[in-house]
Structure 1
Amino acid sequence: MNRIDRLMGVLTTLQSKRYVSLDHLANKYEVSTRTVYRDLKALGEIGVPIDFDDQKGYSILQGFFLPPVSLSTEEANAIILVASLSERFTDSGTQKHIENALNKIKAVLRSSERLKIDQLQSQIRIYNRSEEQLPSGYLSPIQKAISEKEILQIEYCNNKGEISQREIEAIGLTFYSNQWHLIAWCWKRKEYRDFKVKQISKLSSQQEVFRKPEHYDMNDYLKSLH
């Protein structure tokens, strides 16, 4: 990797995380910490507002944004493949967000790169059997509720066909048995429950933050099931 590519990589990494350590950057780009320090200094000299915290590491001051100007062929191809998989593994709302994001990425690419992406995109298709049911369209609001820690009100139909109203605090999404599952604290049952997203018939946000003081980390919850 030449220095220009590495500088852009370091900048992208700083933009994607709140704080980054010198060792993390050195390991990621396979250079010495001294080289990374020089790269950070060079970014500062061209106007990138880099801040440093003794306890947390390096960061870019809030409000600064520099969009990426290029992608490698491999990076662009990976994005196209993941976007194509959304046709099979997400709902229509999420697919629309992915399409919008992909269009924004294309907008900053050179015309030759954009043409290659369009050609590849036209040649990747995901086959869905007609009987396969996609999620009910709630993946996007569920993700928002998880990140914003907002309480959700849902109408849920269990495997017995019984419909119930639930007030839940969503902690995460997981995909297994060929479908999405929402893991959430259920105030009705007073315990964590596993809800199949495609069996949620209604969903709305209470515009209220979580009331439960502490929650499982999603990874810890999944480990507890073993």
Structure 2
Amino acid sequence: MNRIDRLFGILTLLQSKKYVSAEAIAERLPECFVNDYDYLSVLQTTISNKLMIELEYKNNKSEISKRRVEPIGLVFYAFAWHLVAWCHLRGEYRDFKVARILKAKNTGCTFTRQDHLPLADYLKQLPVPY
């Protein structure tokens, strides 16, 4: 039996009714494992180019707000991606869970602050290990 035959056999086995489809597994995952990658590319671009973002964000109380932020970094902790950014609305650094971002728009405008806190310093303040 050659490699192609073996691979075909494995494929046939995986497609049988004995195995649950990826979609069925995804439906059973808790909310903390929901795909939050929709905006990672936009966020990475704005971070590296030091460009502001306009966010539409839903907090943990399901309240929706619009924010203009200066993103300083992305970090994965507590089973989710988080955007760390200077928030113009609050006038302080904030942690935005990426899965709760409803819209993210690259404004094309450069940061207004030039002296942002290093991401590593912000991460030291987190209540959980990252």
* TM-superposed deviation, 1:136: 5.2
Instruction: In structure 1, give the amino acid aligned to 2:82.
Output: H
Structure 1 position 206, deviation (Å) = 0.9
Asked if 1:189 is matched to 2:86, the reply is no
Query: Structure 1 counterpart of 2:110, which letter?
Result: V
Tell me the amino acid that sits aligned with residue 198 of structure 1: A
Give the Cα–Cα distance (whole angstroms) in 2 for the partners of residues 204 and 145 of structure 1. Answer: 10
TM-score normalised by L of structure 2: 0.72
State TM-score, norm by structure 1.
0.43
Identity of aligned residues (%): 44
Q: CA deviation at 1:144?
A: 0.3
Q: In structure 2, what is the Cα distance between the partners aligned to 1:173 and 1:203? A: 14
Q: Given the alignment of the two structures, is residue 174 of structure 1 paired with residue 57 of structure 2, yes or no?
A: no
The equivalent residue for 1:207 is 108
CA RMSD of aligned residues (A): 2.1
Larger Rg computed on CA atoms: 1
**Contact 1:136/1:199, CA 8 A, preserved across alignment:** no
Q: Which has the higher strand share?
A: 2
Equivalent residue of 1:224, what SS?
coil
**Relative contact order: is structure 1 or structure 2 higher (C-alpha 8 Å, sep ≥ 6)?**
2
Pairs aligned (count): 103
Q: Which residue of 2 aligns with 1:162?
A: 63
Aligned to 2:41: 140
Instruction: Classify the secondary structure of the residue corresponding to 2:62.
Output: coil
Gaps of 5+ in 1: 1-118
Distance between the aligned counterparts of 1:174 and 1:219, measured in 2? Answer: 10
> Residue 129 of structure 1: CA displacement?
3.6
Gaps (5+ residues) in structure 2? 1-6, 12-21
